[in-house]
Structure 1
Amino acid sequence: MTAPHGPDHPGHNVDLHPEKAPLWMQPLVERMSTGTVRRHPDITGVDARGRGTADLNGAPARRAAVLMLFSGAETSAELPNDAAVLLTHRSPTMRSHSGQIAFPGGRVDDTDANPVDCALREAWEETGLDRTTVTPVAQLDEVHIRASGYPVHPVLGHWHTPSPVGVVSPDEADEVFEAPVLDLIDPANRIMVGWDRWRGPAFRIRDYVIWGFTGGLLSAVLHQSGWAQPWDRETVLDLRDTLAASRNNERLR
């Protein structure tokens, strides 16, 4: 689906409002605010082979921001059945991290007011997201990718009024979709993958595999929010074989 691409509103809606998060997101907001999520081993264990969305433009940069955008009923105190998170599939023709599943995000520009502004701008550029439909509720100061030291600022948002999104530039992202949280926490969809000496958590969703930085951050978020269910972390599948059997169309280097 091609996204409607109206004008963005740079500098608007760039402040965090944790008090406006729905009740079911409050534990996650608190753990992000205290840095508990950042210390989770699924994040600290990410190395250069699992960078995921770190260097989104294929070149060194000072820092980046990604948007972890969750939708779902505001009235529920428990995880609602309609809870979902916005993800993109990076085009297999991209020079860097082609074929990976990622959160919307990219480099912080000099014109961005802060990482929240960057995350919302990048989400608009990639998916057509209307930033006025989002409530930014928490932010990690930065997550460093081991071996590269690349700093990424994850921004947590609640999509209080979901609006149409889709593919804006097929050369950058060729699919945009919401992954149901209930599917992500289903133990049948959770796997450990390994390549050489690296290993990390991954997810199977829509015949894609989410791994690397995105998989590690998502795994930490689900765990720290209290939504995760027990799953098999002992069996490690070969990453190359796992990707070959997926829709990622991704080549490891």
Structure 2
Amino acid sequence: MNEPVLETGPGVVGIDSEEFFGRARQRLGFDVPPALTDPTLVPASGDAGTDRMWQIIAQERPVRPAAVLIAVVDHAEPTVLLTMRAAHLTDHAGQIAFPGGKIDAIDASPRDAALREAWEEIGLDRGYVDPIGYLDLYATGYGFRILPLVARVRPGFELRVNKAEVDDAFEVPLSFLMNPANHQLHSKEFRGAERSYYAMPFAERYIWGATAGILRVLYERVYLP
């Protein structure tokens, strides 16, 4: 693994919630990308090694459509609600994640899947959640095609963590996650080619992989021209 490289760009030190949600509403929508379920269409990451990995995975594994909830809690200083996956799980045990999971036949849309999973995993009542729109589709090395739903969440909710799936739920300041000075860029090898991935360590929480990658996309979509 290479030493981390810190990203540069417009720093976002303090975040005004109205500005963030206003920008997000202008730039996001609810169109579902065809690549969510079409294995012949592969999302692009902008990193050649990662794009190559996703193309290989698309040929070897069935597409697994999924949706996650980027729950931005509308405090005076906004936060993002994250989870730590249960330590006993077979896949991604103990990793930091968004509430969410695979899209089931009962789900009317990816939005419904993300809200259902958030309720099942951490007891987040959808009555507190105001969906804003989808981010870009994000692929993983396990064949998942993840469609992230950005939402404004009204404070005052009470969580009920499902210990079968989640060990903990916690909030991280949005200003930390949207500051490129906190975006570490790492690389590792995949079948002879280098691919990049992000990490955003916060206190004792190590946010990396798909979760950090999706947060980086959120930064790029909301704050870059």
TM-score where L is the length of structure 1: 0.63
1:181 aligns with 2:174: yes
CA deviation string 1:69-119 (max 9, x = no partner): 10125xxxxxxx511111001122210111211110011111112111110
Q: Decide whether aligned partners of structure 1 residues 207 and 147 sit closer, same or farther in structure 2, where only a CA change above 3 A counts.
A: closer
Count of aligned pairs: 186
Note the aligned Cα RMSD (angstroms): 3.1
Q: Which moved more, 1:154-163 or 1:60-69?
A: 60-69
After TM superposition, give the deviation of residue 188 of structure 1 in Å. Answer: 5.6
Give the SS at the match of 1:199.
strand
Partner Cα distance (1:45, 1:138) in 2:
25
Within-5 A mapping of 1:186-197: 186=179, 189-196=182-189, 197=194
Aligned to 2:46: 41
After TM superposition, give the deviation of residue 33 of structure 1 in Å. Answer: 2.8
Extract unaligned runs of 5+ from structure 1.
Answer: 1-20, 52-58, 74-80, 228-253
Aligned to 1:90: 85
Aligned to 1:109: 104
Give 4+ residue runs of structure 1 displaced > 6 Å after superposition.
Answer: none
Q: Decide whether aligned partners of structure 1 residues 193 and 99 sit closer, same or farther in structure 2, where only a CA change above 3 A counts.
A: farther
Within-5 A mapping of 1:48-197: 62-73=64-75, 82-140=77-135, 143-145=137-139, 150-169=144-163, 171-186=164-179, 189-196=182-189, 197=194
> Does the Cα contact within 8 Å between 1:201 and 1:215 map onto a contact in 2?
yes
Q: Decide whether aligned partners of structure 1 residues 186 and 24 sit closer, same or farther in structure 2, where only a CA change above 3 A counts.
A: closer
After TM superposition, give the deviation of residue 65 of structure 1 in Å. Answer: 0.7
Aligned to 1:17: none
> Does the Cα contact within 8 Å between 2:200 and 2:208 map onto a contact in 1?
yes
Aligned to 1:213: 210
CA deviation string 1:183-234 (max 9, x = no partner): 224456331222222222210113122111111110110232128xxxxxxx
Give the SS at the match of 1:208.
coil
After TM superposition, give the deviation of residue 40 of structure 1 in Å. Answer: 6.1
> Does the Cα contact within 8 Å between 1:136 and 1:158 map onto a contact in 2?
yes
After TM superposition, give the deviation of residue 166 of structure 1 in Å. Answer: 4.7
> Does the Cα contact within 8 Å between 2:30 and 2:133 map onto a contact in 1?
no
> Does the Cα contact within 8 Å between 1:71 and 1:85 map onto a contact in 2?
yes
Partner Cα distance (2:85, 2:110) in 1:
21
TM-score where L is the length of structure 2: 0.70
State the identity as a percent. 33
Amino acid at match of 2:95: Q
Partner Cα distance (2:66, 2:178) in 1:
27
